[in-house]
């Protein structure tokens, strides 16, 4: 089955700097790669996603890149702000009859220092 | 719209007890999911459903059962609770692959379960 590895487990950056979180996956059949943000005690929320037929996607300060050959994808946050502090999860998977069958990474705790 | 509603928010069980975690969504989503999140870890898929009457196993189904009698409801049953089932449980729903604005998973607020 699919296995997703996420690095680093913790990341601390100065406000205004960029943050990069990396994930690798094992199953070449995976074709959908979402990123979720989870604040302490809250539910996960989708921040950006990418499909396997796209190499890069950007939404304001957030971007995701995908390298299918190497089986890795990354989240880039630019101009970080204190409200970006949270745990970020990558996931990889496929759609089964329309449902998302996802495997999540272990998470990265991002801290933005003022 | 309330979105995805889970009950209860907290529960303590004794080993061997049974319980049902309730989940309901009012977005008319076809697809529903149950995840568990152990402390400091990512989410693991327990079961999912593609529509009323259709369920299938995820990554970690052992010790759990589900049913989907209506589009709105997707309860998760723990039959013989074990300490290894101590976790936070999230129910989620999605509109499906072909609904452009509803690709994302909508999560409930979670149920914190402790088995002692």
- Could you tell me the mean pLDDT of each successive run of 10 residues in chain A, 114 residues long? 94 98 95 94 92 90 96 97 97 85 95 95
Q: Which residues of A touch B44 (CB under 8 A)?
A: 104
Q: Contacts of residue B56 in chain A, CB cutoff 8 Å?
A: 96
Q: pLDDT tens, position by position, for chain B (116 residues)?
A: 689 999 999 999 999 999 999 999 998 899 999 999 998 889 999 999 999 999 999 999 999 999 999 999 999 999 899 999 999 999 999 985 555 444 688 999 999 999 99
Question: How many CB atoms within 10 Å of residue B12?
Answer: 12
B81 in Cβ contact with B57 (< 8 Å): no
- CB < 8 Å to A91, chain B: 42-43
pLDDT the model gives residue A97: 80
Task: Pull the structure tokens for residue B69.
Answer: 């009698």
SS3 state of residue B19: strand
Q: CB-CB: which of A4, A44, A95 is closest to B107?
A: A44
Is the Cβ pair B42, A89 closer than 8 Å? yes
Q: For A36-67, how does the pLDDT look when each residue is reduced to its tens digit (9 = 90+)?
A: 999 998 999 999 999 888 899 999 999 999 99
Output phi, psi for A66, to 5 deg: -130, 130
The C-alpha atoms of residue B78 and residue B96 are separated, in whole angstroms, by: 27
Number of Cβ pairs closer than 8 Å across A and B? Answer: 67
Interatomic CA distance for residues A65 and A56, integer angstroms: 4
Contacts of residue A37, Cβ cutoff 8 Å, sequence gap at least 6: A44, A45, A47, A86, A87, A88, A89
User: Is the Cβ pair B109, A107 closer than 8 Å?
Assistant: no
**What pLDDT does A38 receive?**
95
Other CB atoms closer than 10 Å to residue B72's CB: what's the count? 17
Query: If you compute the radius of gyration of chain A from its CA atoms, what whole number of angstroms results?
Result: 14
């Amino acid at each position: 089955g699919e296995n997703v590895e996420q690095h680093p487990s913790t990341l601390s950056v100065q406000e205004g700097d960029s943050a990069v979180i990396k994930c690798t996956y094992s199953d070449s059949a995976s074709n959908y790669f979402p990123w979720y943000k989870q604040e302490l005690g809250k539910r996960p929320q989708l921040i950006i996603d990418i499909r396997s037929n796209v190499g890069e996607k950007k939404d304001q300060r957030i971007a995701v890149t995908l390298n299918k050959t190497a089986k890795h994808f990354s989240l880039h946050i630019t101009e970080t702000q204190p409200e970006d502090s949270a745990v970020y999860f990558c996931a990889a998977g496929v759609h089964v009859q329309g449902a998302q069958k996802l495997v999540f990474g272990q998470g990265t705790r991002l801290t933005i220092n003022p | 719209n309330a979105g995805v509603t889970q009950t209860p928010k907290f529960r303590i069980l004794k080993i061997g007890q049974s319980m049902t975690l309730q989940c309901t969504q009012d977005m008319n989503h076809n697809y529903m999911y149950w995840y568990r999140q152990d402390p400091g870890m990512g989410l693991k898929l327990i079961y999912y459903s593609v529509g009323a009457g259709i369920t299938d196993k995820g990554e970690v189904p052992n010790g759990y059962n589900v049913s989907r009698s209506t589009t709105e409801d997707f309860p998760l049953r723990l039959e013989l609770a074990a300490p290894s089932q101590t976790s936070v449980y999230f129910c989620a729903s999605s509109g499906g692959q072909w609904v452009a604005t509803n690709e994302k998973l909508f999560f409930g607020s979670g149920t914190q379960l402790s088995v002692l």
